């Protein structure tokens, strides 16, 4: 399925900003994603209806076992991105997002591997470049923002986790974990950093320690402020290189994020 997804997305990447989507298109995508998200825990997604609605948006509806995908139809890149949705009951509602899967090297591969490992509800992938007005993390009218809105409305107590990457010139940290604009207690964020740090075998700094990577301008965090939790995970290039190739570390990170999503208690440092 990863190969199929890669083939489907290959012609969709664009470094130039595609034309903006209409308000009606965004509203239809929000509604479709919300309907699918509400049905996903029961595993009762209506394939025919979902396929028709996705096609009307210029997107494909693909099924592979317990995973359904919505992705832009191959052709002229329009920056619609892709959404993978796991069907059936899960222990927690974890959503992975990659706003910059190419510019933040390896984050798309890492997020896809985490999702395909199981237990994760959704994977949202952007297909526009970060250095355009359509940067998914900073464009409130982006398709990723519409997907975020639909998932937040349709899932019960979801945790959104965005994977990002930073350059050595920005910070000498291994990783930085923050909550963006969403509401976290200090203890809960500290607990999340402990779990992620143990999974990565690395020091995980807070947004307060590295303000440039604290995600305060991230539009998904702003949207989710009073709706859901978001973790903004910034990874150094060495950490991304290890995660891309180390299946055991991928599994450890996935388990750590699932524990946070399930609100499993842990002792803060």
Residue 166 belongs to some domain of the structure: yes
> Is the pLDDT assigned to residue 5 strictly greater than 70?
no
* Highest-scoring range by mean pLDDT, 33-42, 132-141, 209-218: 33-42
Question: Does the residue 267 lie in any domain?
Answer: no
Q: 269 in a domain, yes or no?
A: no
Domain limits at 119?
A: 2-261
The number of beta carbons lying within 10 Å of the beta carbon of residue 262 is 15
What are the residues whose beta carbons fall under 8 Å from the beta carbon of 114, sequence distance 6 or more?
96, 120, 250, 253, 254, 257
User: Tens of pLDDT along 113-145?
Assistant: 999 999 999 999 998 766 666 788 889 999 999
Residue that the structure tokens 């494909």 belong to: 60
Least confident of 26-40, 71-85, 194-208: 71-85
Name which of 105, 147, 160, 96 is nearest 130 in CA terms.
Answer: 105
CA-to-CA dists, residue 168 to 37, 56, 180, 205, 259, angstroms = 38, 43, 21, 15, 29
Given a cut of 60, is residue 269 above it in pLDDT?
no
Q: What is the DSSP letter of 105?
A: T
Which residues fall within 8 angstroms of residue 2, CB to CB, at 6 or more apart?
112, 116
Residue 50 lies in a domain: yes
Inside any domain, residue 202: yes
Is position 6 within any domain? yes
Q: What is the CATH number of the domain that holds 112?
A: 3.40.630
Distance (Å, rounded) from C-alpha 244 to C-alpha 110? 5
Domain count, the chain: 1
In sequence order, what are the beta bridge partners of 165?
Answer: 235
DSSP per-residue letters across 130-190: TTSTT-TTT-TTSHHHHHHHHHHHHSSS-EEEEEEEE-TTT-S-SEEEE-TTS---HHHHH
Q: Percentage of the chain surpassing pLDDT 90? A: 74
Residue 52 to residue 9: CA distance in whole angstroms = 20
Torsion, CA 12, CA 18, CA 22, CA 25, rounded to 10: 0
Q: Cβ of 225: how many Cβ atoms within 10 Å?
A: 14
Residue 266 has a pLDDT of 85
- Domain assignment present for residue 153? The answer is yes
């Amino acid at each position: 399925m990863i190969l199929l997804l890669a083939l489907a997305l290959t012609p969709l990447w664009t470094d130039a900003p595609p034309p903006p989507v209409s308000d009606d298109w965004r509203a239809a995508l929000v509604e479709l994603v919300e309907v699918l998200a509400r049905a996903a825990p029961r595993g009762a997604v209506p394939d025919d209806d979902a396929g028709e609605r996705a096609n009307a948006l210029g997107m494909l509806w693909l099924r592979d076992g317990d995973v359904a995908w919505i992705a832009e139809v191959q052709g002229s890149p329009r920056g619609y991105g892709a959404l993978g949705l796991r069907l059936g009951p899960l222990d927690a509602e974890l959503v992975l997002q990659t706003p910059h899967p190419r510019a933040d090297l390896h984050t798309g591969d890492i997020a896809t591997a985490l999702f395909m490992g199981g237990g994760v509800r959704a994977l949202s992938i952007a297909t526009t470049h970060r250095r355009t007005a359509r940067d998914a993390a900073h464009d409130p009218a982006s398709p990723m923002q519409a997907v975020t809105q639909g998932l937040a409305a349709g899932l019960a107590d979801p945790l959104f986790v965005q994977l990002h990457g930073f350059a050595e010139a920005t910070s000498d940290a291994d990783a930085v974990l923050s909550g963006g604009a969403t509401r976290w207690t200090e203890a809960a964020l500290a607990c999340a950093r402990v779990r992620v740090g143990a999974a990565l075998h690395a020091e995980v700094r807070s947004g307060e320690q590295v303000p440039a990577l604290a995600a305060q301008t991230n539009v998904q965090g702003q949207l989710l402020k009073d709706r859901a939790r978001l973790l903004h995970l910034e990874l150094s290039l060495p950490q991304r290189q290890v995660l891309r190739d180390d299946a055991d570390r991928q599994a450890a990170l996935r388990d750590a994020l699932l524990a946070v999503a399930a609100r499993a208690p842990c002792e803060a440092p």
